Amino acid sequence: MPAFAVAAVVGVLFFLGYRYYSSYLARKVYVLDPAFRTPAHEFDDGVDYVPTNKHVLFGHHFTSVAGAAPIVGPAIAVFWGWGPALAWIVLGTIFAAGVHDFGSLVVSVRHKAKSIGTLAGEVVNGRARMLFLAIIFFLLTLVNAVFAVVIGNLFVANPGAVIPIVVEIPLAMVIGQYIYRTRSSALIPSIAGVVVLYALILVGNAFPIELDGLAEALGVEQTRNVWVVLLFIYTWVASRIPVWVLLQPRDYINSHQLFIALAVIAAGVIVGMNTIQAPVVNDVPEGSPSFFPFLFITIACGAISGFHSLVSSGTTSKQLDTEPDARYVGYMGAVGEGSLATGAVLAATAGVAASQADWEALYPDFATASGGATSNFVDGVAVFANNLGIPLDLATIFAAVVVISFAATTMDTGVRLQRYVVQEIGEIIKVRALARNLTLATTVAVLIPLAMALLPGGGEAGYTFGVLWQLFGTTNQLTAGLALSVIAVWVTRQGRSPVAVLIPLVFLLAMTSWALVVNLQNFVEADNWVLAPLDALIFLLAIWLMVEAALSLRTAFRERPQPGAEARPTSDPAVARANPTSPTDEAELGQTSRDDRP
């Protein structure tokens, strides 16, 4: 199968999804209100709450949710064949991720930009808030710890990528200062930043940076761990400074990298006429995980991922300028991830292998497929870039820079989100210092994942990546299901049909619960008494929260306005306009609703 034909078909389907389905969601399900005063304006503090141009915010949102996950998951999942992987990416992006990311953003904006954990308490009930925060804290700890390990490994394997990535930080800060001081458009400065970044690939290739000597002098066995410590020192600083100083300008640079990477993949497969060497459906070895339910756990980012709800309701909702921008930022962000995931499938099936025998050597079993996913993507994209005349060594550094940039941005945002969660937990348990002291909350948010990243055991990958990461997929998808539960209850209470939210919700919770049960059985049979209790605990929390959400949904259905009946009073201006019989029809546009009060 020609790779360019697959890319073209997927591109058309994504265009139709954004053009028509996101429009339906905006008009009929979320009922966006251009006059609504967003939290970015209401609480503008120049640090976390900053009204932001939608294109700049798209750059932040996309690169924060992208990370390495939409690359690694699809590059592993082609083990079951490129057909099932691609089908889930397309359907999941259009009908699940778009609904989830878009909805999380809208609901958060309608509730003072509160996190999805806090919203669970307000929309479902108070018990759900603490349970949800506990799951989110565990998920963020895994993400921050593992992404630090992944970036450290990439720096060790690609020392030519160090200089471009490190210089990108002051480069972005200069661009941020220029845009902030001059109030000018971010487009031209950020394009100039991308040009400088890629020019630095030549410098990085000439002067690769390796820390083996420093690790040896410090008595550190693995050089990667030196990078891990440096990365967490960086995130401790980066997560405390205003978003416009570094986060936004770097994200805008990285959003350009997305389009450049996708353009390189598309142009490379056309010029090189690469064909997919993997089977449509692979006859996997006996004893391998079955693609039902594990395909839908392995591909999270790129189809649907609970981590996105944390970003949507964490940093993105605090920067949304107008409510209609939520469609572009939220739904288009999901489409961007689906496009990147499609590129990962092509790189791991058409770029990295010249024949089916080559591909089968890279994917003999599930463990090998998992361990080689990132390098298969980097090598595949390097081949596409090489088709365009770029030398293979520079093309490999280019692919590494793209992956590290996305992963570093996700880690940066992840630590900032974990600081928010620490502060929320501090409020709940009434520890004032934890809730109000930025330095203390940030330090806690950094030290816990740092310790997890450095835990010994688990082989070369470390304990968190080599052992605990097995729980990431189910925890992440469980978070997505719970976020959809919150969205469904909110939509129902507004008197609108929640069907578009309920379909992906039911499917996702079914697949995740199924995977948790299968994993529990496997862990018990393997006498793994670390993962088995954790898996059982997550499963019990999932059941508890599903019951809470189901009860709240039933109540919301009972109390929703009936067709032909007089609507009950509402203070939501968007609902008021959608329901002309509402007693609050004459509410001032943009007035804060009762539902939105703290």
DSSP assignments along 459-498, one per residue: GGG-HHHHTGGGGHHHHHHHHHHHHHHHHHHHHHHTTS--
Is residue 346 scored above 50 in pLDDT?
yes
Q: What is the mean pLDDT of the chain?
A: 87
Tell me the C-alpha distance between 376 and 149, whole Å. Answer: 18
Residues facing residue 214 across a β-bridge: none
pLDDT of amino acid 578: 38
Per-residue pLDDT band at 243 (split at 50, 70, 90) = confident
CA 361 to chain centre: 31
Q: What are phi and psi of 566, to 5 degrees?
A: -70, 130
Tell me the C-alpha distance between 32 and 106, whole Å. Answer: 8
Q: What is the pLDDT of residues 260-278, one digit of tens each?
A: 988 999 999 999 999 999 9
pLDDT of amino acid 572: 44
Is residue 322 scored above 70 in pLDDT?
yes
> Helix (H, G, I), strand (E, B), or coil: what is residue 108?
helix
Tell me the C-alpha distance between 534 and 516, whole Å. Answer: 10
Mean pLDDT of 73-90: 95
pLDDT of amino acid 87: 97
pLDDT of amino acid 561: 66
Is residue 552 scored above 60 in pLDDT?
yes
CA 167 to chain centre: 25
Is residue 562 scored above 80 in pLDDT?
no
Least confident of 255-259, 343-347, 493-497: 255-259
In terms of pLDDT, which residue wins out, 153 or 59?
Answer: 153
pLDDT of amino acid 468: 75
**pTM of the predicted model, to two decimals?**
0.85
pLDDT of amino acid 458: 66
Kindly state the tokens that stand for 134.
């506990």
Residues 6+ apart with CB under 8 A from 328: 54, 58
In terms of pLDDT, which residue wins out, 588 or 410?
Answer: 410
pLDDT of amino acid 303: 92
Domains in the chain, CATH or no CATH each? 3-559 (1.20.1740.10)
pLDDT of amino acid 564: 54
**DSSP code at position 275:** B
Is residue 319 scored above 80 in pLDDT?
yes
Confirm if 36 and 272 have CB atoms less than 8 A apart.
no
* Cβ atoms within 10 Å, residue 287: 7
Q: What is the pLDDT of residues 495-543, one digit of tens each?
A: 999 999 999 999 998 999 999 999 999 889 988 888 899 889 888 887 8
| Half-sphere exposure (Cβ direction) of 266: Cα atoms closer than 13 Å | 13
Q: What is the pLDDT of residues 119-170, one digit of tens each?
A: 888 877 777 777 778 888 888 888 898 889 889 988 999 999 999 999 999 9
Q: Residue 410's closest CA among 315, 344, 296, 326?
A: 315
Mean pLDDT of 68-75: 84
pLDDT of amino acid 563: 59
Per-residue pLDDT band at 589 (split at 50, 70, 90) = very low
**DSSP code at position 78:** G
